[in-house]
Structure 1
Amino acid sequence: MSNEDPDRVEAAAEELYGVPPDDFVPVRDELVAAAREAGDREAAKAIGRLRRPTQAAWLANLLARERAQQLDGLLSLASDLTDAQRTLDGAALRTLSAQRGKLVAAMAREARALAGRDGHRVAESTERDLRGILDAALADPGIADQVRSGRLHRTVSYSGFGPDALAGAEPRPAPRRPAPADEPAPADGDEAGQDEVARDEQAERRARELADRLRSLDDTVAAEPEAREREQVDRDEHDDAARRLTEAKDRVADLVAELEQARAAQRDATEAERSAAATLRDSSSRLRTAAAEVERARARVEDLSG
């Protein structure tokens, strides 16, 4: 019977697919060793089977973890884009495909910027591979789920989606115009013609709605760099303020230490002054006694002389 701890394996996977590919194997080895040390050999085996992601897959995971809302917004268009391939005419489909391509490219650039923020350089070829992954996710719900999970480990692509799919797309027939009121419409096929017009009108509405959603997502993605720059400026200002606060705290600590030393010196000086004052009082008393003795001795001498 297996004693594998699913929580341990889940936590390990969550950690591993959040680290850069170069760090994956060392971190995995540490987690495997920790599981073995805990006596969970099954979890150690399961963790050891986790595959290191490719560079492009890691970038996709980075988007899923740090730009989940934007990524989900892009992937949510998958069904509408698939429907558009079947129902729209070539011109509308090319427009939507171009908008989709722009959004995919923007998301890929965002992933590259996130990696660069952490000091990781991303090659152009890797960014192209990431765009292929995003295109594949838009075409295949299974791949979309993998991308959303943030634990993708392979580079995937889908050749049947995008501009190449235009050749296989089903053109939309031109809508039939209703017959003028003074011309009798043919009895047979009239209902079918109205249904076809209704379908065409519905497809046009869907196309407009999809285009609006694409533009909205495009605006959201386009606003991301500005927000990131603003966040970086705010982060720099915060770091500068934190540095000044640390310096001020250090200065206060130094001053407090100096104050304690001064207070200790004051206490020592006060004690010394009190001790010296007591000694002075004793000396003064002895001096007065000695002076009195001198006066008495002088008086006795004077008495003898007289």
Structure 2
Amino acid sequence: MPDDPDETAEATDADLDAVAENLYGVLPDDFIAERDAAAARARERGDRELAKAIGRLRRPTRAAWLANLLARHRREQLDGLLSLAAGLADAQRTLDGAALRRLSSTRNQLVAAMAREAGRLAMEAGDPAAESVLRELQGILDAALARPEIAEQVRSGRLTRTLSYTGFGPDADPDAWPMPAVREAPSPQSPAPTVEADPAEIERAERERAERARAERERRERAVAEAEAEEDAARAQQHTDEDARDAAVEARDAARDRVAELIAELDTARDRERTSTASARDAETAARASARAAGAAATRTARARARLDEL
């Protein structure tokens, strides 16, 4: 009875999940070799669909690998950082400048601390991270704080891309007004209070900073997209070549089986030939003996007739 397609698909998904869980825990430089070995094992078991699915797993960038390290080994701290997202979103929507500045400061401190921790984990794993990669990791964490879907990718521990966020957070509530900063009344001896920056000015400064970073981010994203396109093309060619190889192997095995069958048939025919040759030889010997016996009998008959005629 054939396997249930749904059960087969579920088994493939479970096997793929187990393979992915292992792969995204290895060093980036070991990823391709480990992935190809896992695909080869699946192919040897006859599970070509699983082998193809494993082959489509992407190697993580260095920064994505660092984020995966945090998700695997510092999950509690990572969740604590990402929990700031709701407060940042509320402060942005309500134009609460004081809360936004306070949370932004906390965010920056925690993001920097998490990047340093990821650097320590990478060092322990035997693959130290460069400062540029740690900065890319901070960009990933900032993006996770701004976008829930990116946060989920980071939490999965299977991130493959270096993500960044070039927006300015959630849209502000149209009915919201900037909340004034709370100021303490100065004492007679204290100097005049420092004027707090207007939230609109803060937003404009943030926008200018983001605009300056946008061009560089877009350039890097284009480079990543081009690299991924090349990888996809190479992976597609790999799959085509693997399919051709599998077909060739199947044809070769079928040919070998046929050769084995023909050799067996030839051996049987040779056995029959040897048996028939022996039988023919024996029959020839018997026929010659019979001919000699018949000749001798004919001679005796002739002699007997000659003696009879003498009477």
Task: Give me the TM-score of the superposition, normalised by structure 1.
Answer: 0.53
Matched residues, number: 173
Deviations 1:245-269 (A, max 9, x none): xxxxxxxxxxxxxxxxxxxxxxxxx
Distance in 2 (CA, whole Å) between partners of 1:120 and 1:91 is 40
Distance in 2 (CA, whole Å) between partners of 1:96 and 1:79 is 10
Aligned ranges for residues 38-57 of structure 1 at < 5 Å? 38-57=45-64
2:156 to 149, 152, 156: 149
TM-superposed CA distance for 1:88, in Å, is 4.2
Q: Structure 1 unaligned runs (5+)?
A: 176-306
Distance in 1 (CA, whole Å) between partners of 2:77 and 2:97 is 28
Distance in 1 (CA, whole Å) between partners of 2:13 and 2:95 is 47
Matched, 1:117 2:132: no
Matched, 1:130 2:105: no
TM-superposed CA distance for 1:89, in Å, is 3.3
Secondary structure, in 3 states, of the residue corresponding to 1:33? helix
Deviations 1:70-123 (A, max 9, x none): 101111221121111122433432222111111011001100100111221111
What is the aligned partner in structure 1 of residue 73 from structure 2? Answer: 66
CA contact (8 A) 1:86 1:171 kept: no
What is the aligned partner in structure 2 of residue 10 from structure 1? Answer: 17
Distance in 2 (CA, whole Å) between partners of 1:174 and 1:66 is 41
TM-superposed CA distance for 1:174, in Å, is 4.8
Matched, 1:26 2:33: yes
Secondary structure, in 3 states, of the residue corresponding to 1:126? helix
1:75 to 63, 82, 85: 82
Distance in 1 (CA, whole Å) between partners of 2:99 and 2:148 is 23
Distance in 2 (CA, whole Å) between partners of 1:173 and 1:92 is 9
Higher relative contact order (CA 8 A, sep 6+): 1
What is the aligned partner in structure 2 of residue 172 from structure 1? Answer: 178
What is the aligned partner in structure 1 of residue 250 from structure 2? Answer: none
CA contact (8 A) 1:88 1:172 kept: yes
| RMSD of aligned Cα (Å) | 2.6
**Amino acid across the alignment from 2:164:** S
What is the aligned partner in structure 1 of residue 101 from structure 2? Answer: 94
What is the aligned partner in structure 1 of residue 270 from structure 2? Answer: none
Secondary structure, in 3 states, of the residue corresponding to 2:90? helix
**Amino acid across the alignment from 2:145:** L
Distance in 2 (CA, whole Å) between partners of 1:34 and 1:77 is 43
Task: Give me the TM-score of the superposition, normalised by structure 2.
Answer: 0.52
Deviations 1:143-193 (A, max 9, x none): 10000000000000002247xx99x9x652459xxxxxxxxxxxxxxxxxx
List structure 1 runs of 4+ shifted beyond 4 angstroms: 1-4
Distance in 1 (CA, whole Å) between partners of 2:179 and 2:134 is 38
CA contact (8 A) 2:97 2:179 kept: no
CA contact (8 A) 1:64 1:71 kept: yes
Distance in 2 (CA, whole Å) between partners of 1:161 and 1:17 is 31
Distance in 2 (CA, whole Å) between partners of 1:24 and 1:76 is 31
CA contact (8 A) 2:87 2:103 kept: no
Distance in 1 (CA, whole Å) between partners of 2:134 and 2:167 is 20
Secondary structure, in 3 states, of the residue corresponding to 2:117? helix
